[in-house]
Chain A
Amino acid sequence: MLPEALFFSAVLFVIGVVGVLTRRNAIIVFMCVELMLNAVNLTFVAFAQVYGVAGQIFVFFVMTVAAAEAAVGLAIIIALYRHRQTVNLSNINLLKG
């Protein structure tokens, strides 16, 4: 059971990484980050089956922080859109050196 779960979460994680790296739409990048987080959560739960309940507790922490992060992140994206009328990350480069 454990190898399958780990394989599945690895696939999910890679999909997330590729999404973050290739997509330019901030919303989609954001969703891919969430995907990565949940891939990790899956790993935690899977390991919790073998090594005890600590992994499951950790998942709660990750979910809580992810929820907070989603709230803040979406708020930033909305503010960004109001300001620039775009969520395309290629156009957002004010911090260019």
Chain B
Amino acid sequence: MLLQHAAATGAHPLSDTVARFVWLLPLLPFVGFVINGLLSLTSAYKAGPSDPSAAHDEAHAAVSHESEEHGAPGDDHHSIARHRSAGLVSLVGPGVLVLAFGLALAIFAAMRGVGEMHAPFVQQYFSWMPVGDLQINAAFQLDQLSMVMVLVITGVGMLIHVFSVGYMQDDPGYPRYFAYLNLFVFFMLVLVLGANYPILFIGWEGVGLCSYLLIGYWFSDKANADAGKKAFIVNRIGDFGFLVAMFMLFANLGTLDFVSVNAAASSLGAGSVLVTVICLFLFLGCAGKSAQIPLYVWLPDAMAGPTPVSALIHAATMVTAGVYLIARSNALFSLAPSASLTVVVVGSVTAIFAASIGLKQWDIKKVLAYSTVSQLGYMFVAVGSGAYVAGMFHLMTHAFFKALLFLGSGSVIYAMHRAYHHTGKHDDAQDMRNMGGLRTYLPITWALMWAATLAIAGVPPFAGFFSKDEILGSLFARHEGSALAQAHFLGIPGNIVILSCYVLGLATAFMTAVYMTRMMLYTFHGPNRTGDREREHLAEAPWVMTGPLVALGILSVVGGWFNLPGIIPAGPVGVLEHWLEPIVGESTLRLTNGAPAEIAHSTELMLIGVAVLIALAGIALAFVRLKPERLVPASASPPEHGVEEVLLNKYYVDELYDAAIVQPIVATSRSLLWRGIDVGLIDGLTRLFLQSKDDDSAPGAVRMGGLLPRSLGWFGSQLQSGQVGTYAWVLVIGMLFVLGAFSFR
């Protein structure tokens, strides 16, 4: 069926190539989801095949699993509860991703083969919502932008799936885990391949669902389930914005297809209030999905899920969907400079805000979570300032090094966990105060995580240096002459706003270098604080886990070559920029007021020099000031005071939201809706009527309120006599009425 409809797309140069199998991309992980999902339903658990004493293991599993909050798996000697079909799942789960990545590479090669293509390759499958003027087709769209996303999703996703085989192998819910993970990749591919906003929205909601399912993967622990709910509810606020934006787009343009929206966008009027409002509502959706102020609060809590999930969903792919959405809607955002300026401001404020929290976290995953929020802020700075290429570039390099950092931390947690498991000690395996000196025990992880750290800090020639530098450079270039500089944010002229955001960006880069170096120092350097008996059990993870780390490490080092700046001609220059030019080139030019986004080479060199100096200064400061030798294990640490306490408690934003939003709702429900309306008004009224004869017990009184419906129901039931003759009479009389009505009309 799919193929027949695909033929309708006609004469696009890609339609005769392997790209016509683009529908297979999401289908493959979906098949994996179905198989793994069925396997997860088939059976209960079974002790590992290597271990003879199953009964002992089951008991052990019950105890250890409950206590293992962040539940990394057990170890080779004590299989906790390896699933019966774990072998098949390990084949299917990562297998479908390998196939999908292979297909993505083939399609990419085909796209390179047809040369420059100016129209996206759209495949229509069926008409989904043909309602009046609203024509929404189930259709996929393949263009340069979605191709980049597809490669990142399937490529990084594949590595993380392989890593998960090692990380999750002893978890009793192994098939369920891979079912969710495959489903996530399916929805993510639908998101980036959708040819219109509603299809994108399906993927958007689908990845939200999978995120919820995987955050609460260890749902028997209430904190994890709560974190999942928090993510889901906060994202609803953003989705409201996205939906309103879609409604407004349809109401004003009459279409929701990307191609037609882009073509018709200029009819909304450049800089008009309408397009600005649409863009701001779209950005609200992005702020929810991509964890920007004020909706970022769910992402740090989302670390409750398994670590590979944090790497895939909450660092590399899903949270970048907002960046993708803005890049996809570049025609709209370039028409609304003030909305774009808002994106820049929110992005840069989020970046520095989250980075400052990251300075003081003790949980290794929390550091990385705030780092992710901060780096997403950078991406929004880029797409907001019209540097869509830089945004996508940073999205890509960030996917490499942040996935590496998360998987590396997963490897650390895995090692810590096994050590604790051996001796039966129950301590926090994610608290950096319990680590230290892991370099000698985990040398591969140590080296690779340093590569990622240098990448994220922006040290040349690692990947993050090029992307971050391009963002800051483009932002700086906008401060004069561009449409952004002429716009206003809350009455402040754009050029001042842009320069302040640039300073914020530099400060964020400094903090990034500091907190990342801090994390590395506390985790891998100095003396070990894990415990004397546990220390000897610390060891590197198996190759199925370190292998993906190595691959990501290579990408983190050479990722910059995907888009070298013209000023550093160490290879082909601006590959990604050239690749994305047909999609975003026009919009970037519109935001820069036609001027190419070039700044003088001397200025650019100076900017690069400043950025590198700042990064190195951050690393050096961390090395000089932080003393891992002075740390004590978490259980023995004194409480903190002053600024440190504020940062550790994340500026009390969660508490603020709780007091300002959650508590008022709960209080209103309790005092007004329950005590006031239910008990006071309804029960009070019924009590009034009953005063004379009955007691004032609420249930009896409420039953009075049901008297009217009950008596009406009694009359109704009398019509049904059970006598066929009566029914026949009613039928005949009714028929005579109808006939009479027709005759004497």
Residue numbers of A with Cβ under 8 A of B are: 17, 20-21, 24, 29, 89-90, 92-97
Contacts and interface: CB of A to CB of B under 8 A. Distances in A.
Given A29-B724, A92-B722, A97-B721, 13 more contacts: A20-B728, A21-B725, A21-B732, A89-B724, A92-B724, A93-B723, A94-B722, A95-B720, A96-B720, A96-B721, A96-B722, A97-B717, A97-B719
A10 to B, nearest CB: 13
Interface residues of B, number: 13
A20 B731 CA distance: 11
Contacts of A94: 722
A95 B728 contact: no
Nearest to B716: A97
Contacts, number: 31
B744 interface: no
B722 to A, nearest CB: 3
7 contacts: A24-B725, A93-B721, A93-B722, A93-B723, A96-B720, A97-B719, A97-B722
A82 B725 CA distance: 22
Interface centre among A17, A94, A96, A97 (most CB of B within 10 A): A97
B718 interface: yes
Nearest to A33: B728
B742 interface: no
Interface in B647-668: none
A90 B723 contact: yes
Interface centre among A89, A92, A94 (most CB of B within 10 A): A89
Interface string B70-110: 00000000000000000000000000000000000000000
Given A17-B732, A21-B729, A21-B732, A97 B718 contact: yes
- From DSSP, what is the main secondary structure of chain B's interface residues? helix
B735 to A, nearest CB: 10
Interface string B703-721: 0000000000000111111
Contacts of A93: 721-723
Interface string B583-627: 000000000000000000000000000000000000000000000
Interface in B252-288: none
A89 B723 contact: yes
B725 A89 contact: yes
Contacts of A29: 724
Nearest to B723: A93
Contacts of B723: 89-90, 93
A97 B722 CA distance: 7
A91 B492 CA distance: 88
A69 to B, nearest CB: 16
A20 B718 CA distance: 22
A47 B351 CA distance: 85
Contacts of A95: 720, 722
Contact of B725 (A17, A90, A96, A97): A90
Nearest to A29: B724
Contacts of A20: 728
A91 to B, nearest CB: 10
Nearest to B719: A97
B277 to A, nearest CB: 56
A9 B162 CA distance: 82
A24 B724 CA distance: 9
Interface in B682-719: 716-719
A68 B728 CA distance: 21
A79 B728 CA distance: 22
A4 B352 CA distance: 97
A36 to B, nearest CB: 11
Interface string B429-458: 000000000000000000000000000000
A93 B719 CA distance: 13
Interface string B323-359: 0000000000000000000000000000000000000
Contacts of A97: 716-722
Contacts of B717: 97
B721 to A, nearest CB: 6
Interface in B535-591: none
Contacts of B725: 21, 24, 89-90
A29 to B, nearest CB: 8
